[in-house]
Amino acid sequence: MDEMTLLNRRRDEVPPPTDLSAARDRLLTEIRRTPDARPRRAVRLGALVSAAGLAAAVAVAATQLGGATEEGEPPVSAAAVLENAALVAERTKATTVRPDQWFYMKESQPVDSLPVYEHWSRMDGAMTALRGSDGELKVSESEKGPTNSAKTLREIEALPGDPDAMLRHFYRLKRERAALSICEPECPPGSERDRRAYGAIQWYLKYGPIIPPDTAATMFRAMAKIPGVTIEENVATAEGRPGLAVVLDLGEAGKGYTILDPRTYRYLGVKSVRGGHSMAMSVLDSGIVDRPGETP
- Specify the pLDDT at position 286: 96
pLDDT, tens digit (0-9, with 9 covering 90-100), for 1-44: 444 444 444 444 333 444 444 554 555 455 444 444 333 333 22
Residues 49/31, Cβ–Cβ less than 8 Å? no
**Per residue in 175-210, pLDDT tens?**
777 778 888 778 889 889 999 999 999 999 999 999
Cβ-based neighbours of 92, under 8 Å, separated by 6 or more: 213, 216
The structure's pTM equals 0.76
Which pLDDT tens digit goes with each residue over 46-74? 333 333 344 444 444 444 444 444 455 56
Backbone angles phi, psi at 293, to 5 degrees: 100, -20
What is d(CA 7, CA 101) in angstroms, rounded to the nearest whole number?
21
Burial class (CB in 10 A: 0-12, 13-18, 19+), 280: buried
